[in-house]
Each structure stands twice: as C-alpha cells, then as structure tokens.
Structure 1
Amino acid sequence: MRANVIIAATTLFLLSLPQAARADPGVGDPVYGATLQRGTLELESRLGRLTGGARDATDGLVLEGEYAFSNRFAAAVLVETGREPGGARHVEATAIEMIHTLGRIKPLAIDVALYGEYKHGLRGNDDALEAKLLIEHRAGPFDARLNLIGERPLRNGEPVELSYAGSADWALIGDEVRAGLQAFGDLGTTKRFGGRQDAYVGPVIKAEIEHIGPGEIEIEAGWLRAFGSARDHTGGQARLLISYEIKL
C-alpha cells in the first residue's frame, strides 16, 4: 500500500510542476531499471545517432560513472555531448543524478524507484531538473521496464516536458544475451499534453562479456524507427551503449 501511495504522489508531482525543447528522445538515454546492487561501480558510454532525413548524423554521446552505495541508493556524474552533421563535438551539459529504490509491490512483482537529476547546461543550454519514476517487472527470462519522465528548465515560465522510455526483453542464452524492443517518446508538456509528438520504437539486443579484468562489459545495440513528428526530420535512430561494471 505504501508503495502505491508513493507512486501516485510522484506521478501527480511530475504532472503538476510548472519545458524547453529536449533533444530527440532516446538519444544518449538508457531505460533505467528499478533495482540496485550494493558496491557496484559502472562506467558507461551511450551514443544515439539519427539516421536519414534533414538531421541525419546528428548524435548525442553521454559518459557516466555511477556507484551504488547500498541496495537502496546510487549516485552518478554525467557529461553530455552533442554533434551536428559536419560539426565538432561539444560538451552541452554536466549533471549529477541519484536513484533511490522504493521496494517491490509484491502482488504484481513490480520494483519501483525514483530518479532525480540536476543538469548544468553549457553553450547556451538551460540548467534543468529532471525526475523519473522507474518501474520494472521481472519474471524468469522476461524483463520489462517503464520510465515516466518530467524535466523542467530552471527558467521562469517554462512548463515541464513529459516523456517516457520503455523496454521489454527476453534472455536467449542464459543472461548473457537478451533481445527485445525499446521505445522512447515525448508526451507534451504540462501546458499542452499529448498531440503529435516525437517517438522512436525498434529492436534491441544486449550482451554481457564476463571476466574482463575485475568486471564485465555490457553491450546494448539497437535501431529505432521514427514515428510521429520525428518523421519530419529523420528516419530513425541507431543506438550503442557500452558499460564496464565492477562489483567492489
């Protein structure tokens, strides 16, 4: 019951905050899970690159280092970079993030966590606050995740921009190889919810390579087809995430 109350309160909070345009959803963004493992250090690079259309070859690269201080709390630092077609790569923002797990809703086998981020914008980008409600359901080889996202630039008069990220995948070879689908999209703002928005959906494959030094490498690759207003400027999005995970 307590977890249900927290979920409802968090959702209302995201919807009630008083957004500037975001980058295409999914460019450099992961789909976060809702569980942590104490003592895990993760170093990650995430690349999203638009393919086709007027914004072909536009990309975003995010570098992140995260440490789980307990099974309930983790913190991370991020560097976000971007590059326009034919241009140089620039650092667009630095950020700190925190994840706090809330526990499991046992009847539904759903884990829930909260994510918070403060972003310091560079090169004319706004500082911003971001909150996410992280939901995950695992059953045997199946894993499904949903992130509900609200981001607000720290500038007067800007509404919260709402978006989502989701995935569903299955283990094919133990837990070393998984395949499934991912989706990223915008939902509008607190002033104008819904309507024709950017969306990307497509297949993903994940692989783990163990015993690389003291840790393991995790690789995630996928291609997302553009839908909605995203089709006005691109055909899709290629994604590559590489992380090195050490359990200290």
Structure 2
Amino acid sequence: MRCTLVTGASRGIGRATAIALSERGDRVAVHYGADSASAEETLAQLHGQGHVLVGGDLSDPETARRVVEEAEAGMGQIDILVNNAGIAPGEATSHRVDEVDYETWQQRWRRMIDVDLSAPANLTYLVARSLIARGAQGVVVNVGSRGAFRGEPDAPAYGAAKAGLHAFGQSMALALAPHGIAVASVAPGFVDTERQQPKLDGENGDGLRAQSPFGRVGTADEVAAAILYLTSPEAQWASGAILDLNGASHLRT
C-alpha cells in the first residue's frame, strides 16, 4: 500500500484526486488550509482505512514541515505528493496592472507566489528528502495551469507562479530521477468545481464553455484521472512531462 499526501484536498480537484487514489488502494493524507469541515467531508468519502487529516497554511515553511511530519506519522510514510493547493484567480485576487494600487499589487504577488510556488517547492523538498533517506522510490505531481502558457492578465502572479511550478517540476525531474523519484505536472484549463460555479452560472458561463471545441469545461474527475495515471508505477517514464488538460481550448506549439 502506498501513502499519498494531497494538498488542498477539501474540495474540487484535490477531493476528486484523494477519492480516486483511495479507490486505487492508497492511504491518503487529506490536507486543508482552513476549511476543516469540508476536509472532513472528503475524508468520509475515501475508500479503505488508514487515512488522515492534516491542516495548515503551507505558505509558512514551518507549517509545511509540520504537515509533512504529521502525514508521515499518521500513515507511516509518504510515497506520493500531489501539490494541488493554490490560490486561483478571482475577484478577491485580481491585480490588473492598470487597475490596482502598488500596495495591492505587491501583496497579491507575494501571496500567490508564496502559496502557488514556494509552498510546493518546500513540500517537494521535504518529501523528496524523506524518500531519499528511506531509499524508496516515489512520485511528485504538481497541479499547474493552462494560464502558465496563455497568460493571466487579471492575475499575472498566478500565471507566473504556475509557469514557475511547471519549470520547477522539470528541474526536480532531472534532480530526483537518480533517486528513483518521478516528477510530473498537469496543466488544467477551466474546471467545473464548486469554487468556479458562480462563473459558470453567470453571464460569462457560455463564453467559458465555448473556449473548448467540445463546448464544455473540464471536470475535477478528469484531472484526478490524469493524476491517478501519473502517480502509477507505470508512469515513471512520464517524469518531466507537463500534461495539458484543457479540451483543446489552448494549444501549445
């Protein structure tokens, strides 16, 4: 049985991933930032036994260390890390260069980089060092974004953080392969999650669906299915990959 830490697993992609991993037979550490009630709901939906709940703001390096230590203590080890927790673009995080003041610009850049890039980097370090000390193989999957490639004018810090996360994953794929640790990333487009439902139900919903020639947006289960593959033993050769999951709404060259 392999043990997996999924960050930001209280809802959305994180919850779907935690459930899919538990169906496979993994023991899962469900991480949440502040919403413990939703995390408890995720925990209740997992299959099998031995799952644990861990909480805290991962932008704080010592909290990140504590979360990893608690997950290891609760499960016995961590074999897989899914870096899913992050701050998404929205009204509360918007920082268009032609709209916000300098103080807001700095604050929102700092917060997004801390949560969406520095936190996954710290968690990867901690889990990788634990795997190396054990002499065990493992997997890290980063949840990036289509926004890293097409740009995010309303939230440039988000696009920059996700682009940095993709590049970080490729650097780690090279650094950790000699230790038997694979690292890959997924880059979802717009995903139908609870957090995004107001946008899909609003006046721009049809436009969001029309971005894909399929006429819809992605689902959390579709992203979870990709993560399920990338964390499987058969996917080691995909280390270093960035898998686009956007329904052909944005094509990279």
| TM-score when normalising by structure 2 | 0.35
Of Structure 1 and Structure 2, which has the larger fraction of its residues in strand?
1
Of Structure 1 and Structure 2, which has the larger fraction of its residues in helix?
2
| TM-score when normalising by structure 1 | 0.36
